Chains A and B, each alone.
Chain A
Amino acid sequence: MSTLQFIWKNQAQVYALTFEHLWLVGVSMLLAVSIGMPLGILVTRRPAFGKAILGASTVVQTIPSLALFGFLLSSPWLGERADRLAVTALTLYALLPIIQNTYAGIRGVDPSVREAARGMGMSDFQLLFEVELPLGMGVILAGVRVATVITIGVATIAAAIGAGGLGEFIFRGLAMVDNRVILAGAIPAALMALLADFLLGRLERRFRYL
């Protein structure tokens, strides 16, 4: 029986796990964007404090993913439910590229455009929403794209703590020493990553102005 036949025979489970995977990634990304973008903006406004934020998120990034899942397992509220824990870990991982690119996107706005905006009497709020975020959006979305692709990959490890997703197949395949089972998890995850990369890349190109 080939890998494809295996997937075909188990398609109901492949769909279910793909959906679960998508849910883990989706919720994590939503959280990461809604935390990471404001933090990235904060970094541009308060550089001293910003260094601490960037430093902390870089440290999180250096923790091996399996270890991070393990660490969080012992924490009181998070450890109670596997999906809660998985979403937390995935969100933490996704933060760095989003914070960094939000910062870079805003910093990358042409200084003459910023000067013109201030000179015409824009408030700080207007400068941010009318100028800096729209012009930085291409770079910010590049960060979201990178974070999404990473998260889709790291989410396979969530199965190790029982949070489900396509990692189920991978870990089961490893235990059974059966490549077909591993691939039944790895191929859909890879396709999901490619698709996310493609779609977010298209969205990103809409924000290229020069």
Chain B
Amino acid sequence: MARDIDVVIEFRDVSYRLEKGPLLLEGLNLQVRRGETLVLLGRSGSGKTTTLKLINSLLRPTQGQVLVEGRATTDTDPIRLRRRIGYVIQEVGLFPNLTVESNVGLVPRLENWSSESRRARVQEMLALVGLEPERFAARYPRELSGGQRQRVGVARALAANPPLLLMDEPFGALDPLTRAEIQQEFQQLQQRLRKTIVFVTHDLREALLLASRVAFLEGGKLVGVYTPQEFRRSSNPVVAAYLDAFEGPRSPE
């Protein structure tokens, strides 16, 4: 079936429980299609980050299966799997002992690219995220602003050209202006690159701006998957409550 080819990530009845701890995710069934930006939306503790980390095998499902490109993550070498998946987190996690160039070029180096192709790729990636290579390549992370660091984080995640990108509240720590700016640029970037992206946020506006579809989670369970338009009009009480919290109660018609 043509539809199956388009499914890049699939959760089949996935639960995740901390060892002797609470159930963080329960019975998740979800499909991510090629080239879409699926936003995992929900409040803190709803299981968004858990869901994301199950994709690149930073967590292993307690029950069920996560399939990435048709193969269960538990049957795949986690290192090979992660090399095909870019990963961007809120704290960025740049290596403070390496220059911007070395940070961005790290995965290509681990993949044994030649130094010329690495250099070229770093230049290309920095330009892509709006940082002039001549000015920024030789800097250290401490010499960058928060927004610049996050751009480097995105460049690093894209460097080895992974088909998949996981982003965990990547713009959450930025001031509102920088955040709006980088969101817009990211939207344009996505239209150009057509990566499959799973994006975690609790910010409704960000979700509706960037999402092809929104998967709404609450208390470790999937409430539903919606297009941004459907989400705004949803009559589901949990979704409505979330919308109200951001936009104020909708006036009765």
Q: Which residues of A contact B (CB under 8 A)?
A: 110, 112-123, 126, 131, 134-135, 207, 209-210
Contact = CB atoms under 8 A, between A and B. Distances in A.
B81 interface: yes
Given A112-B89, A115-B93, 4 more contacts: A113-B95, A120-B106, A121-B82, A209-B142
A126 B109 CA distance: 12
B48 interface: no
Contact of A119 (B89, B97, B142): B89
8 contacts: A112-B92, A115-B93, A116-B93, A121-B107, A121-B110, A122-B110, A131-B95, A209-B140
A134 B91 contact: no
Interface residues of B, number: 27
B106 to A, nearest CB: 7
Contacts, number: 65
B96 A119 contact: no
Given A126-B110, A209-B142, A117 B93 contact: yes
B83 interface: yes
Interface of A is mostly: helix
B139 to A, nearest CB: 13
A88 B112 CA distance: 43
Interface in B63-96: 78-83, 85, 87, 89, 91-96
Given A135-B96, A209-B96, A115 B79 contact: no
A129 to B, nearest CB: 12
